[in-house]
Each structure stands twice: as C-alpha cells, then as structure tokens.
A and B are shown apart, each in its own frame.
Chain A
Amino acid sequence: MKTIKKLYILLLFAAFSLHAQQTPAPKQSGDITLTGGIAHIGNGEVIQNSLIFITDGKIIGVYDATMTKRPLKGEIIKIDGQHVYPGFIAPDTTLGLVEISAVRATEDQDEIGEYNPHIEAIIAYNAESKVVESMRPNGVLIAQSVPQGGTISGESSVVQLDAWNWEDAAVKRGDGIHLNWPNSFRRGRWWLGEDAGYSPNKDYASDITDLKDFIVQSRAYESGDSSIKNLPFAAMQDVLDGTQNLYIHVDSEKEILDVLKFKKEMNLEKVVLVGAYRAYKVADQIAKADVPVILARVHSLPEAEDDDYDISFKMVKTLVDAGVTVALGNSGEYWQSRNIPFYAGQTTAHGLSFEDALQLITKNAATILGVGDKLGTLEAGKDATLFISTGNALEMMGNNITHAFINGRSISLESHQTELWKRYMEKYERTE
C-alpha cells in the first residue's frame, strides 16, 4: 500500500512538470510481487488469482495463488481482481519517426531511393517523442519502428517505449528489412498521361525480376571482394542467411502467391507478410509455407466496394483457424498505434475469444518480430514488461492502467496529455 501512495506522489509531481517528456524510470532496485491479479499469460491461458514475482527486470515466476504457498518477496503490489497483461506490442508503426505529420521538419520516416536496405529506422527514432509516451497509458509498451517508401524501405527495429535515447530504446536493433511488393494492378501514372484509375500493371513481371536480381546480386556480393563495400548489398546479408526477417508488404491475392513463390525461389528463410489484405483468401497456402502475417489496421475500411463491410474485422479468424501465426499491425501509423488493444478487441466480435485476441498483440507479435524469447507472455525468464489494468484492457471502458513495467522498471503513465487534463481540471476546480 505504501508504494501506491509513493507512486501517487510521484505522479502528482509529474503532473506539474509540464512540457517536458516523462523521465524514464530507474532500473528495478528490489524484488516486486504482484498478488491477486487475473493474469492473462498471452498464450491463451488465464490465472484468475495469480502470484507474479519480478526480480532484476525479469519475471521469475508466475503462479496460481490458490495452488502455491510461496513467500511473497520485496515490494508487494496487491491487485485483487485487476488484470495483468504482458506489455502490448505494436508492429508496423512509424513511432518515433514522425512527430507531426503535417510538419515536414518533424518527419523522418521516408528516405529517397528505391533499394534502401541499409537505411535504419532506429537512427532517427526519437525516444523523447510526445507520441511515444502517449502509448503507455494504453498498455502499449513495445513497438516496431518501420521506415517507409521505396521498394526496399530499410531496416526496422523493435523498441521499448520508455528510454533516454535510441540505443537505450532498442530491444532488437534491425529486426528485419522491409520490402514493398509491386502491384499487378495499379493506379495509372497520370503524369505520364495514363488514366488515373486502377488498371493492370504491365511492368509487374519485370518489377519482380528486378527484385530477384537484387537478391541474386546481394548473394553474389557475399563471396566477392569485401574490400570494396556495397552498402545495400551488405545490408541484405542477414536476411539472406536467414537470421533476419524480410517483411514483405503485400495485399492482393495474386501478389501474395507470388511472394510465396519468391520466398521459395530465392531461398529466403524468414519472410513475414505485412498488410496482407487478401491473405484470408489464400490462408491455407500461407499456413503451409509457414509464413507469419502482420495484418493492416483492423480498423480499416474494405478495399473494394463489394467486399464484406466487416472483412477487416473477421479476416483475422480465418487466418488463425488456418494455422497462420498472426499479429495485428498499424499500417505504418504512429499516434493511432495506442489503439492496438482495441483492434484486438474488435476481433472478439468476429469469432475470437479475448484470450485468442490477446495473443495477436503479445505472444504472436513477439514471436514474429524475433523477440519471443524475451517478450510476449507472462512466463518465468521473460522480461518483466507488463502492466496492470483495472478492467479488460482490450475494451475501451476497461483499459485503465494503474501500473506498467518495462524490464521491471515502474514507468510513468503520465504524458503530455494527462498533464494537460489535470492542469485544466484544476483550473475549473478553482473557485476564484
């Protein structure tokens, strides 16, 4: 109880330090035990009355309190009836790369050039972004920051959202390279005198050939003269040797099948489909190829007039049922990424249980991003990156976060926004 009071004072203090970003929390100093919470493990399991031990930034044990008599250690946080979740993970964002999208000076997500595997998002990642801190009060503690544009946009990184600088933020620097697959059907290039509507892309096949050529060249480069460096080819090596993901942003049915073929032909081990609007139509092939999927924002309109109005909500279940590992993405957005819990929640109206839905933004996301060993579930040995909510965190009205930890560090849940809220509520409470 004492700690809660302490926290409260800390929060109050924070409320008056306006216009500065939240200060990153210090390293975990002593053991922490969470008692009585409903633990949503992230793998589909729930422990109604849980006991969670946190030491040195790690979860060292998660137990059913009714089944164990382990002694409580260190600081004890009683959270009877509240919910504990692994920190939510937001893949496919531009968090930290954009602050105000209408102000060009604040944009760093899109470098010029077509083949940019050597461009690294983490370099521009702004750990002190006001947008980044606004994620945390919703339980979003981890994100993938992704460069945009071109054919190969560059390299993304997985970041934790309470950091002093980009090095500090990186949970996994360079988790993968992002490729925008060509479209077989594209909007007319009106500036070349073509009709502005969508029509078949005559260059589609040659676009793919160019991509293949780039892969082949990159492979050949590996065994060549390393004294003369080719930065783009060099940047492809981890993808080629199967230690790094190749995220292929692709939407249409034919293109997805072409990607699967490309993966096979080019002998690429770790390919992830991103966006994947029509993946539900070829779910079995995707599952068979053992390729995971990061979907576009669940809160998206159907692409075509004739599509089911709820297609974006329900495609998730189709893919899950087919055995595809699915995570929910953010379509390269930034401030909206705090709504990812509700994207997951939305799928519960379309066939998934809340625990299934939770996996889409925890375990599955961590697995796909290559941080499954550290993040994504409440299990012993993993990072103590988790939070406590008074209600169901996938519901707007339940998502009310009282504590959040990143690597055991008890982070601030304040933000520029909560501070303004408090400041103006105080203004109206004054009776002068």
Chain B
Amino acid sequence: MNKKLFLTGWLLFMFCLVSAQEYFPVNDGVKTINTNYTFFKNATLHPSPGETIKDGSLLIKDGKIVSVGKSVKAPKNAVVIDLQDKHIYPSFVEMYSTFGVEVPKRQGGGRSPQYEPTRDGYYWNDHIRAETNALNDFKYDNKAAEDLLKAGFGVVSSHKADGLARGNGILVALNSDGNTAERLIDTRSAQFFSFDKCNLSQQSYPGSIMGATALIRQVFVDADWYAKGNVDTRDLSLEALNANMDLPQIFVGNGLYDDLRIASLSKETGVPFTIVGGGDEYKRIDEVKATQASYIIPVNFQDAYDVEDPYQADYVSLSQMLEWNQEPTNPAKLQDAGLKFAITTNDLKSPDELFPMLRKAFKYGLKEETALKALTTIPAELLGKSDVLGALKQGAWANLLITSGNIFDEESIVYENWVQGSQNIIKDASVIDIDGSYTLNVSGKSYEMTISKSTEKPSVTVKNGDTKLGSKIGYTDGWLNVMFTGIDSDTKEYTRIITQVSATTPWSGKAILPDGKETSFTATKKADSETEEKKNENDDKEETSPVVIPLTYPNVAYGYDKKPEAKTILFKNATVWTNEEAGILEETDVLVKNGKIAKVGKDLSAGGAMTVDATGKHLTSGIIDEHSHIAAFSINESGQNSSAEVRMKDAVNPDDIDIYRDLAGGVTTIQLLHGSANPIGGQSAVMKLKWGSSIEEMVLDEAKFIKFALGENVKQSNWGSYSRFPQTRMGVQQMFTDYFQRAREYQNRKNSGKPFRKDYEMETLSEILNAERFITSHSYVQSEINMLMKVADSFDFRINTFTHILEGYKVADKMAEHGVAGSTFSDWWAYKYEVNDAIPYNAAIMWSQGVLTGINSDDAEMSRRLNQEAAKTMKYGGVPEEEAWKFVTLNPAKMLHIENRTGSIKEGKDADLVLWSTYPMSVSAVAEKTLVEGVVYFDIEKDKELKQEIAEKKNKLTTMMLGAKNKGLKTQPAKKDEKQRLDCDTLETLN
C-alpha cells in the first residue's frame, strides 16, 4: 500500500528540513543545505474557503508554498507525495491564545488595600502594562503545541493574559521540530486589552467593571497627550501603547455586555477593537450586529445539567437551561448577522473538542464555509497576515492539513498537519485498522480474539469457547502482540503471540506457550457483522435536528415573546391620582396614545383604543425610586477616594429579574446609583424600566447625576482599612474642597485656550460646578450634611439631593434654605452607628419645613413596595395622602429633573402609569398594570401566562436534558447561578 510508503519515506526527509541558519558555523560535520522541493500531487485542494481544486498539486520549499493549482509541475529535485483521494486544507490560525506564555500567579495582598502603584517609570496604574512583550515570557510548549496541531492549528497568536492593557502578543508557528528562530513569525502580533486586573499587583483601582472601562478610556487620552510630547517625564507603558497602535487591537471580553461595552469604547477612543466575545452574542444579536465590530468567539458549548434528581434540578434556572439549549446557535447567529468572526479554542478544555463543537454548531445552522473562514482567512486577516496565513497560496507559509475527506466530516481523518513545511503526523495513515474478530489457533487450541480501537487505543478480548480469558494487547509499528491466560485466569500462565500484521489474514507468527515453548499460531479474520451493529448504535446517538427554544425579550424568565409595543389604551372610570392641582379625580378616564398621556377627563371616547375598565381601581403615575442598585453588574468603584470618571451606564445589566419585580411593584423609573464606598462616587444611570429593551433604550442620558457619599462608609469605618484618605469627617470636607478647587483650575486652563490634558474625572467635576451635572449625596448625620452644603456654597453651586439623609430632620431649615432635596428611608435605622438618631418621622419633618422630600429604597426588596413605604409617612408624622404619594412619584421626578416628562398624570407627559387594584398606599394594593411610555411592561394577567410558559419551557428543557444524559452524553452537576444583591455598601472585587 502506498500509504505506508509515503510515511516511512518522509520521516527521513524531515531531518533535512531542520537546519541551522546559513551564517551559523558548523562544527559537527559538513554544512548541509537542502534545496529540494516537496510536491503533493493528485490531491483535492481547498486553497481558501469555498474554493476547491480537484486533482491539484502543491509545491513547497523552505517552509513556504511555491505554487498551487492544477497545472503545477514538479521540479526534478522534488520529493513527490501522492495524495490520491486525500484533501489539503490550510492549517488553522488561532488568534487568541496564551500558548507558551504563563499567566503569573496572583500576589498575596496585605490586609489593607493598596492604592498606590508598585512601579515607577510606568503608568500610574499597575494594571496598565502595555509595555509587556509576550516574547519575554515565551517558552515553546510542546505538549500544548501537540494538542493544537491535532486540532488543526498551524499558527497561534499568543499573549500574556494579565492586566487591562496587556501589551503585545507574538505570532508563533507550531513547528515543533523547528527552533524559535524559525517558529517566530512575528514578535509583535497584536496589542491586547481586557477588563481584568493583573495578578502582579494588588493596586485596588479599578475594582469594578465601570472603573475598568473608565480607566481604559482615560489611558487612551493620556497616550494621545503623551504622544504629542506634552509630558516631560517618561512613561514606558504609554510609550509602548502608542508604539503598538500600528498592530491589530484585540480586546478580551467576557460575554455579551462586555462586547457592547468594548464597542462603545471603540467609538469613544476611535480604536477599532477586535472583540473576544463570550459566546452569548445570540441573546441580543441585533445589538451585537449594530457594533459592526469583528469578533473572536469561543465554541465552548456546555454540557446538559444533570437534572435527574428533581430537587437538585429545581436550583437550575430557566436562563441557565436556555443557555445550554441556545448557545450552540451563537456562531450561526453571528454568521447570519453578517459579522466577521474568528473562532478560538482558548476556552475549550482541550483543543480536541473543536471538531465536535463545530459539528454541533453546524446542526444549529453554522455553515462549514463560515467555520473554515473563521479558522483560517478571517484570523489571518484580523492579524494583518492574509498574505502568509490562512490560505494555500503562493508565498504563504506551508501550513497545511492532509485529510481523508471534507475536514468537518465526522468520518474524516486528519492525517497530517504540516507547519512551515515540517510534517506532523496526527494519525498515521499507514496504521492498519485491524478491528474485528479473529479465529486464533495456537498449538491445536482454537480461540476467539476480538480487537477494537486498533488505530487509537487498542483493546482485545480472547475467549476460549464461552470463557473469557485475561488478555492484553500491544500494537505498534505494525507489530501485534497479545498475551492471554488459561481458562483459569487467576493462574499466572500466559500464552503470548507476536506477528507483523497486514491488511489481510490469515496472519501467522510466533507463539510462546506457558511452559516457554515456542511454536507458531495463525489468526483468521471472521466476517465483520459485529462492527456494523456498533456503527448503527452510534448513529442512534446522533441528535436529530435540534430543538431551540425561541429567544425572549429579555432572554430570561418572564421575558416576552415579542418586544412589547406602545398601544393606545383608555382607562375608564379610574380614581386618578394626578399629582397635579386637580388632585385625586374620581371616575375619570385617561387616554394613552403614542407613549404619552393624551387626555385626562370624563367619558372619553375610546376610538380605536383598547379599553381597560378601571372602575374601583386607582390609576397613578409610575413610582420613581431615587436610590436603586438593581440592574447592575457592579456598584462600587472603591479603588480610589474619587471615581467621578466612572459611569454606572457601563455596568447596567438589563436582564436583571429585579427589573421585572420592580415593575410588578409599580416602579417605572430608577436612579441606578453608584455605591458609597468613596466620597466622590460615579455617574448615575437614570433608567426607565423597559423590560426587554437595550441599555441605550432604558437609560435617560439627559439626566446627569453623580453619587457623593459621606460618613462611615467613605471613611471606611466598618471594614479594616486605614490607609486611604479620608479617615474622618474632617478629611472628607478637605477632600471635596481639594477636588472642586482642582476642577476649577482645570476648567480655567481649558477655557484659556492652552493645550490641556483631558481628564475624565475633572470633566465630570466641572460639570457639577457648571450646574450641568447634579449631586445625590449619601448622608446620615447633621454635621456632614451641613458641611457638604457649605462646600457647595463656597464653590457657588447647589447640592441637588441628599439621599438617606436620616438626620435631615435636624437641619431641615438649612436644607430648605440651600434648596436641596431629601430622599430618605421611611423607617430604616439601627444598622450602624451613624443611624442611631435616624427616625421614621424624618420625611414628615423635612417636608414640613419645605424640603422637597422623597422615599427611596436602596434595596431590591423594598423597591417593589415603595407604595407602602410612602404610606408609612402618613403613620409617622401624619403627612397628607397626596403629599405622601408624591414622595415616591413626583418628588423624585423633580429630584431627577425629569418632572417635565414623568411623575404625574398630565396631558403630554410620558405614559408612565400604574393601575392599582385598590387604594395605592394600602397593604392590600397590587399593581395590575405597569406602563412605561405607553408600553405595558407588567400585566398581572400576562404574568400568569408567563409563569405557565416558564413551567412549560423548563419541563421541555428538562426532558431534553434527561434525553441527553440517557444518550450517554456528558452532563454537568446542577448548580445555582449566584446573584449578588447589591446595595450601597457592597464592595466588589474585580479580579
């Protein structure tokens, strides 16, 4: 057989390719230079995706492709390889890898957070390590290379996966026979970024996703400022970052919302990042499509959950189950969206999972051609290496795969992966498949010998009649040896046979009997019926066309099949709480049209409107929670005492189930506030709770607020940290004074027309000074409340709102004079020292002194029943009902400067409305319908349907998962996704 021939011939040739550079002296023999060609003929060539050449030839020399095509002629000094019936593909390109570059171990930190950098001569933040050159840590990893070669890769772009700015990667050919001089295709492949901090430093900033985003934003403006020669000192990080700007820029994310965040960073910085996605882009493919970015995506589809035990299965949420069910559609969705993407194996347990995962993706609509592109031409293009990688073409590296057929076919075998013209045998085409049953005759006795998996991990059974004997097999280099016991398998009496095998039987060879006597044996193959059966079994395991549960808006429990739309609705005969001069109107109609309140009056005609009989029910404007921490991935950027540059919008989680729960409690708008871990917090995201919409659709960009904080949290009293200024209320005051003074100076410089370094923190503080952005300050005791107002006075601006403000009642007169609002808890106290004098009469007292007063939650549970919390102000201090109701509606709207569009029932305002079953401040009241801008986002009747749907979907998915387990597919143990409830004090750690 020619198969065998070409192997043995080629192993020798290999040696000649491994040669030293021409100018290297030789002392161990004569200088050898090999000028021979290698010529592959009669192959089916796949030079690039979608292109096939039958009976083609390929000529290579010195590791590169010389020519490709149908009419290529072999030079005389060519070694010819006949690839009749075989195919040649370009080897794959892995563009996102840490191959051979170890990630440093995390350093053990001290007890107190570290605020300062550990290095000098570099950027002020240790996590910006643009000067990292992956080459410095690179060590060719033979084992990893072998795995990648087996999976079809010829080249990897590796980098040091450590830090926000990770420096440049390198491009390495998986030429295990070569040396670094040969393998290193490029010492600079791409510049890498991520949102994860580096392990080498404990510097606390950034400690949140919004902090990491803000830092990247600042780094790019600083790099630009540096590049323009405005900095007198050296900054090796920024220098490197600037120098690397000629490379492809790869930003490593960790899922859908990182994708969107990175895309918006691209917009702001003008840097076209290639995004390493998370594999969940399918969830909001339209938004991903709109980014028009290039992606690198994983195909690490998870195993089904083990749901056999129904009690354990209960912990698995619908969204977890859906992920299992839907994520194999991800590559197809990206393909159908027309996005350019490469596929990475970086997140697979082992690269050898690539083909099974891809075959799964094919069943879900991924086209083979797209997959091939994603593994060859696209990564080559994204790395700027299309001329030498990813295709079989003249001048490209001779990186090629030799296969038995279509590379993605389950039946196909990848025989060889040539890299830089160097051969790697994946599966020896010369190994004869000897699976089957044989009749074995040894010294007059007859046995039945069955061999399986001979080409991978051979195993054998030997039977004497019906008795199974103990046996062992060895099968290498064309030699088969089998050892087996006598009938009593415990006795240590072994018969051994050995022979060279050929594709046809009978074989004969030497046998050594238990007594040591040598004799001969014969083995004759039986008919192949058994193996056929096995194959059929395998076919049964194949999944039939997959069932994918349709996506919902959002794609979690209680999501809607279709994105809900604004309707024309007429509420008839409601008790309407207008929050306007008209007060509470009995038996009144409200018409909602085009998202607005179109008309309020008696006996309105429905026209084409959907009519809701609201007789006996109460219609109010939607509740506005001035202080919320739901719908966020992170709350505190506590890495510095000021984080004015961070934006909560960068941390919004629009899929948070608490949004739906808030809607079910009549809440239509929230202010997603930064936490209170530092005196100057971050910029708020004021959001309309449009369940199922995008972050952009929910956030009101025009409402510009920022969180400040005072007291125990900012001086870090309740957790052992003693190193950050300020540690006292005295220090807090000075810190504010300092920052505002610097902001004023910054602004003066900016207005002077002289060049200035753009500083996002100072920009934000300037907005405050200019009354373009407004402060909501976390506050407890009267001294600090008074202090902040005085600081503001001294800089000629006004504090907008004090939140918590539990001792507001002690300085209500001063607050009224300053014109600051108070948004407080109804009755919280006693949880820390500074709330010792917190009283539930606070709201009533502040209100009585003319302070614009509100009741907020700071708590996902309370947020959904703020109607009751408002009622508490009637109990504690006797606030009249209409005023009490305004505490959770109109007044917070005023605090957030959105009272022109929401907060009351007035013609022309947004139709943010709640229909209550009864008197809205009663414990018996439930929200029956909650509308945001005319769209019904919560409906108590629809909710029942959704619950039913959730149960049905879970049941369906459970059945599918049980089916998967039953088929023998791998499963993962049930687990519960841990949702961290966030409040003001939550301190997150970001790696």
Could you tell me if A349 and B926 are in contact, using CB atoms closer than 8 angstroms?
Answer: yes
Could you tell me if A342 and B868 are in contact, using CB atoms closer than 8 angstroms?
Answer: yes
Minimum CB–CB distance for A163 against chain B, Å: 19
Interface check B629, CB cutoff 8 A:
no
Question: With A101-B831, A301-B861, A335-B830 as given contacts, are A428 and B312 in contact (CB-CB < 8 Å)?
Answer: no
**Other-chain contact of A396, B712, B871, B977 (Cβ < 8 Å):** B871
A-B residue pairs, 10 tightest by C-beta:
A345-B923, A198-B976, A102-B832, A396-B871, A421-B841, A254-B311, A335-B830, A397-B874, A417-B839, A306-B557
For A347, the closest partner residue in chain B by CB is B923
Question: With A198-B976, A199-B973, A428-B812 as given contacts, are A394 and B657 in contact (CB-CB < 8 Å)?
Answer: no
Question: With A305-B318, A397-B871, A428-B813 as given contacts, are A349 and B923 in contact (CB-CB < 8 Å)?
Answer: yes
Contact flags A241-252 to B (C-beta < 8 A → 1, else 0): 000000000001
For B921, the closest partner residue in chain A by CB is A397
Q: How far is the CA of A187 from the CA of B860 in the complex (A)?
A: 22
Minimum CB–CB distance for A60 against chain B, Å: 32
Q: How far is the CA of A397 from the CA of B844 in the complex (A)?
A: 13
Q: How far is the CA of A342 from the CA of B869 in the complex (A)?
A: 10
The residues of A that contact B314 with a CB separation of less than 8 Å are 252-253, 304
Could you tell me if B881 and A424 are in contact, using CB atoms closer than 8 angstroms?
Answer: no
The residues of B that contact A28 with a CB separation of less than 8 Å are none
Interface check B848, CB cutoff 8 A:
yes
Q: How large is the interface on B (under 10, 10 to 19, 20 to 34, 35 or more residues)?
A: 35 or more
**Other-chain contact of B917, A308, A349, A394, A397 (Cβ < 8 Å):** A349
Could you tell me if A305 and B657 are in contact, using CB atoms closer than 8 angstroms?
Answer: yes
Q: Please report which residues of chain A, range 181-216, place their CB below 8 angstroms from some CB of chain B when the two chains form the complex.
A: 184-185, 187, 195-200
Interface check B827, CB cutoff 8 A:
yes
For B556, the closest partner residue in chain A by CB is A305
Question: With A304-B315, A395-B922 as given contacts, are A200 and B845 in contact (CB-CB < 8 Å)?
Answer: no
Interface check B736, CB cutoff 8 A:
no
The residues of B that contact A92 with a CB separation of less than 8 Å are none
Interface check B708, CB cutoff 8 A:
no
Q: Please report which residues of chain B, range 631-677, place their CB below 8 angstroms from some CB of chain A when the two chains form the complex.
A: 657-658, 660-661, 664
Q: How far is the CA of A187 from the CA of B832 in the complex (A)?
A: 27
List 13 contacting pairs A-B, 8 Å CB cutoff, sorted by A: A185-B311, A185-B976, A197-B975, A198-B978, A252-B314, A301-B860, A305-B556, A309-B664, A394-B923, A417-B840, A420-B837, A421-B841, A428-B813
Minimum CB–CB distance for B670 against chain A, Å: 16
Q: How far is the CA of A103 from the CA of B976 in the complex (A)?
A: 33
Could you tell me if A421 and B832 are in contact, using CB atoms closer than 8 angstroms?
Answer: no
Q: How far is the CA of A252 from the CA of B313 in the complex (A)?
A: 12
Interface check B809, CB cutoff 8 A:
yes
Contact flags A278-317 to B (C-beta < 8 A → 1, else 0): 0000000000000000000001111011101110000000
**Other-chain contact of A102, B557, B718, B868, B973 (Cβ < 8 Å):** B718
Most buried by B among A345, A346, A395: A395
The residues of A that contact B921 with a CB separation of less than 8 Å are 396-397
A contacts, CB < 8 Å to B:
99-103, 130-131, 184-185, 187, 195-200, 252-254, 299-302, 304-306, 308-310, 334-335, 338-339, 342, 345-346, 348-349, 394-397, 399-400, 416-418, 420-421, 424-425, 428
Minimum CB–CB distance for A143 against chain B, Å: 15
The residues of A that contact B845 with a CB separation of less than 8 Å are 421, 424-425, 428
The residues of A that contact B712 with a CB separation of less than 8 Å are 102
Interface check B726, CB cutoff 8 A:
no
Q: Please report which residues of chain B, range 557-608, place their CB below 8 angstroms from some CB of chain A when the two chains form the complex.
A: 557-558
The residues of A that contact B975 with a CB separation of less than 8 Å are 195, 197-199
Could you tell me if A417 and B841 are in contact, using CB atoms closer than 8 angstroms?
Answer: yes
Minimum CB–CB distance for B666 against chain A, Å: 12
Could you tell me if A196 and B978 are in contact, using CB atoms closer than 8 angstroms?
Answer: yes
Q: How far is the CA of A130 from the CA of B661 in the complex (A)?
A: 34
Minimum CB–CB distance for A73 against chain B, Å: 33
Question: With A196-B978, A199-B973, A305-B318 as given contacts, are A100 and B664 in contact (CB-CB < 8 Å)?
Answer: no
Q: How far is the CA of A399 from the CA of B921 in the complex (A)?
A: 13
Could you tell me if B978 and A100 are in contact, using CB atoms closer than 8 angstroms?
Answer: no
Could you tell me if A99 and B830 are in contact, using CB atoms closer than 8 angstroms?
Answer: yes
Could you tell me if B978 and A349 are in contact, using CB atoms closer than 8 angstroms?
Answer: no
For B977, the closest partner residue in chain A by CB is A197
Interface check B48, CB cutoff 8 A:
no
Contact flags B866-888 to A (C-beta < 8 A → 1, else 0): 00100110111100010000000
Minimum CB–CB distance for B808 against chain A, Å: 10
Could you tell me if A399 and B875 are in contact, using CB atoms closer than 8 angstroms?
Answer: yes
Most buried by B among A101, A302, A342, A394: A342
Q: How far is the CA of A428 from the CA of B844 in the complex (A)?
A: 13
Question: With A200-B312, A349-B917, A428-B848 as given contacts, are A335 and B925 in contact (CB-CB < 8 Å)?
Answer: no
Question: With A184-B311, A254-B311 as given contacts, are A342 and B923 in contact (CB-CB < 8 Å)?
Answer: yes
Q: How far is the CA of A300 from the CA of B810 in the complex (A)?
A: 32
**Other-chain contact of B849, A185, A305, A416, A428 (Cβ < 8 Å):** A428
Q: Please report which residues of chain B, range 904-934, place their CB below 8 angstroms from some CB of chain A when the two chains form the complex.
A: 917, 921-926
Question: With A102-B718, A305-B317, A305-B319 as given contacts, are A348 and B830 in contact (CB-CB < 8 Å)?
Answer: no
Question: With A301-B661, A348-B924 as given contacts, are A100 and B841 in contact (CB-CB < 8 Å)?
Answer: no
Could you tell me if A305 and B557 are in contact, using CB atoms closer than 8 angstroms?
Answer: yes
Q: How far is the CA of A335 from the CA of B806 in the complex (A)?
A: 15
Could you tell me if B840 and A100 are in contact, using CB atoms closer than 8 angstroms?
Answer: no
Q: How far is the CA of A348 from the CA of B919 in the complex (A)?
A: 13
Q: How far is the CA of A413 from the CA of B657 in the complex (A)?
A: 41
For B828, the closest partner residue in chain A by CB is A335
Could you tell me if A346 and B318 are in contact, using CB atoms closer than 8 angstroms?
Answer: no
Could you tell me if B976 and A304 are in contact, using CB atoms closer than 8 angstroms?
Answer: yes
Q: How far is the CA of A335 from the CA of B871 in the complex (A)?
A: 19
Interface check B950, CB cutoff 8 A:
yes
**Other-chain contact of B877, A199, A299, A335, A421 (Cβ < 8 Å):** A421
Interface check B947, CB cutoff 8 A:
yes
The residues of B that contact A399 with a CB separation of less than 8 Å are 875
Most buried by B among A195, A339, A424: A424
Could you tell me if A305 and B979 are in contact, using CB atoms closer than 8 angstroms?
Answer: yes
Interface check B974, CB cutoff 8 A:
yes
Q: How far is the CA of A109 from the CA of B318 in the complex (A)?
A: 38
Could you tell me if B833 and A103 are in contact, using CB atoms closer than 8 angstroms?
Answer: yes
Q: How far is the CA of A378 from the CA of B877 in the complex (A)?
A: 29
Interface check B864, CB cutoff 8 A:
yes
Could you tell me if B978 and A395 are in contact, using CB atoms closer than 8 angstroms?
Answer: no
For B660, the closest partner residue in chain A by CB is A309
Minimum CB–CB distance for A280 against chain B, Å: 13
For B835, the closest partner residue in chain A by CB is A100
Q: How far is the CA of A388 from the CA of B813 in the complex (A)?
A: 35
Most buried by B among A102, A305, A399: A305
Question: With A200-B973, A339-B827 as given contacts, are A306 and B318 in contact (CB-CB < 8 Å)?
Answer: yes
For B662, the closest partner residue in chain A by CB is A309
Q: How far is the CA of A275 from the CA of B974 in the complex (A)?
A: 24
Interface check B865, CB cutoff 8 A:
yes
The residues of B that contact A254 with a CB separation of less than 8 Å are 311
The residues of A that contact B841 with a CB separation of less than 8 Å are 417-418, 420-421
Q: How far is the CA of A103 from the CA of B868 in the complex (A)?
A: 30
Minimum CB–CB distance for A111 against chain B, Å: 21
Most buried by A among B712, B841, B950: B841
Could you tell me if B864 and A103 are in contact, using CB atoms closer than 8 angstroms?
Answer: no
Q: Please report which residues of chain B, range 800-839, place their CB below 8 angstroms from some CB of chain A when the two chains form the complex.
A: 809-810, 812-813, 827-833, 836-837, 839
Could you tell me if A198 and B924 are in contact, using CB atoms closer than 8 angstroms?
Answer: no
The residues of A that contact B860 with a CB separation of less than 8 Å are 301
Minimum CB–CB distance for A177 against chain B, Å: 27
Could you tell me if A310 and B664 are in contact, using CB atoms closer than 8 angstroms?
Answer: yes
Interface check B862, CB cutoff 8 A:
yes
Question: With A187-B978, A304-B976, A306-B317 as given contacts, are A395 and B871 in contact (CB-CB < 8 Å)?
Answer: yes
The residues of A that contact B660 with a CB separation of less than 8 Å are 309
Interface check B618, CB cutoff 8 A:
no
**Other-chain contact of A420, B839, B849, B979, B981 (Cβ < 8 Å):** B839
Minimum CB–CB distance for A117 against chain B, Å: 29
**Other-chain contact of B923, A185, A200, A346 (Cβ < 8 Å):** A346
Contact flags B840-864 to A (C-beta < 8 A → 1, else 0): 1100010011000000000011101
